[in-house]
């Protein structure tokens, strides 16, 4: 494995992992700031792309504006909904597990739109992922806020019902985002077939053209900007610069988000699909473990069982186990045994 591939693996694990850590810190302090996080991420990538990809507007895009429009709408809605879901009592571990169900959405869209047919192994692996997500979702539905101990039972019951109602809305949003993401992937493939692959350009223009869409959420963004500004001040060591802690966390989240995206791009160009699947699955698993242990998120034995089904099902779908070759010596012994039997 070359140096560039090793760099991509390390930065993917570190960048994407840290991104989840900073995201969870933000959500713990301000669960409703999903729109603010999304617009900050989009703005950073748009500015970076304007400088590095379009060279201050001097490089013309290879894909026309009209073709980008549908992709931009799908991408914008998917990104906004995924971050917005945190406002509806969705814990970060469930969010990570649920988004691992993208294979289910891809299969559904493949069957409905592309008329694809899959092998029995694919259906079994997707059934495992679906069952795992259902188990984790049902177990998470019971994680209500039980801080009220001496209050009226009727008030507590009403609070629990409200929690469950908004939790259902959050699950519906995540489900919709999965289907939108799968449809976006199919449309993106059709664009690449017609115009060729231009991932850096697509990354830049999908973020740039999406910026006007945030005008619809300007009130929410402004409210949470004020919350971030009024958050506890934090003095950055060495430089002795004082900044509100939420703004610092948002900045770190934005930078690590870009590091994560760019690292995955390098990973897909330098490594096999097997390696990419293994690294991304490992990254999700490590992020999940860290979220449970460090942030003390509620996680029962049922959650662990559901998570195992999701991750094993993902590896089966990608045919990771079938494509991992045995060591040469072991393979030679097997061939020798087969010859003896014949």
Under 8 Å between Cβ of 34 and 258: no
Q: What is the mean pLDDT of residues 236-260?
A: 92
**Structure-token pair, residue 102:** 């993208």
Under 8 Å between Cβ of 72 and 209: yes
Among 285, 211, 265, 204, smallest CA distance to 11 is for 265
pLDDT of 341 > 60? The answer is: no
Q: What is the DSSP string of 138-168?
A: HHHTT------SSS-HHHHHHHHHHHHHHHH
Helices (H), 100-244: 102-112, 120-140, 153-195, 199-210, 218-229
0.85 cut: is pTM over it?
no
Q: What is the mean pLDDT of residues 137-147?
A: 62
Instruction: Tell me what pLDDT residue 146 has.
Output: 44
C-alpha to C-alpha distance for 313 and 96, rounded to whole angstroms: 15
End-to-end CA distance of the chain: 38
Q: Which of 40-54, 165-179, 252-266, 288-302 has the lowest mean pLDDT?
A: 288-302
Among 177, 175, 203, smallest CA distance to 188 is for 203
Specify which residues 235 forms β-bridges with.
242
What are the pLDDT digits (tens) for 98-129? Answer: 887 777 888 888 888 888 888 888 889 888 98
Under 8 Å between Cβ of 311 and 116: no
Greater pLDDT, 215 or 196? 215
Q: Which of 36-50, 221-235, 263-277 has the lowest mean pLDDT?
A: 263-277
Instruction: Tell me what pLDDT residue 252 has.
Output: 96
Q: What is the mean pLDDT of residues 41-65?
A: 93
* Whole-number CA gyration radius for the chain: 22
C-alpha to C-alpha distance for 252 and 41, rounded to whole angstroms: 10
pLDDT of 203 > 60? The answer is: yes
Greater pLDDT, 2 or 302? 302
Q: How confident is the model at residue 338 (pLDDT cuts 50, 70, 90)?
A: low
C-alpha to C-alpha distance for 208 and 44, rounded to whole angstroms: 10
């Amino acid at each position: 494995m070359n140096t560039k591939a090793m760099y991509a693996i390390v930065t993917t694990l570190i960048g994407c992992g840290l991104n989840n850590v900073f995201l969870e810190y933000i959500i713990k302090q301000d669960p409703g700031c999903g729109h603010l996080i999304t617009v900050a991420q989009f703005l950073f990538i748009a500015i970076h792309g304007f400088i590095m990809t379009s060279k201050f507007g001097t490089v013309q895009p290879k894909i026309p504006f009209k073709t980008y429009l549908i992709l931009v709408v799908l991408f914008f809605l998917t990104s906004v909904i995924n971050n917005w879901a945190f406002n509806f009592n969705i814990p970060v571990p469930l969010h990570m597990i649920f988004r691992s169900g993208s294979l289910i959405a891809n299969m559904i869209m493949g069957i409905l739109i592309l008329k694809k047919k899959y092998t029995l192994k694919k259906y079994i692996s997707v059934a495992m992922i679906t069952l795992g997500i259902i188990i984790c979702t049902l177990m998470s539905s019971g994680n209500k806020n039980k801080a009220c101990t001496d209050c009226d039972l009727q008030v507590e019951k009403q609070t629990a019902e409200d929690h469950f109602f908004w939790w259902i809305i959050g699950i519906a949003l995540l489900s919709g985002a999965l289907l939108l993401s799968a449809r976006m992937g199919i449309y993106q493939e059709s664009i690449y077939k017609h115009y060729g692959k231009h991932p850096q350009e697509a990354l830049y223009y999908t973020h740039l053209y999406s910026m006007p869409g945030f005008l619809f959420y300007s009130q929410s963004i402004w409210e949470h900007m004020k919350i971030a500004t009024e958050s506890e001040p934090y003095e950055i060591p060495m430089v002795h610069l004082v900044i509100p802690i939420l703004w610092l966390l948002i900045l770190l989240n934005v930078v690590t988000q870009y590091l994560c995206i760019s690292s995955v791009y390098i990973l897909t160009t330098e490594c096999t699909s097997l390696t990419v699947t293994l690294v991304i699955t490992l990254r999700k698993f490590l992020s999940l473990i860290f979220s449970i242990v460090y942030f003390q998120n509620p996680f029962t034995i049922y959650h662990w069982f559901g998570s195992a089904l999701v991750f094993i099902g993902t590896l089966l779908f990608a045919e990771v186990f079938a494509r991992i070759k045995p060591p040469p010596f072991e393979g030679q012994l097997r061939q020798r045994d087969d010859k003896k039997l014949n």
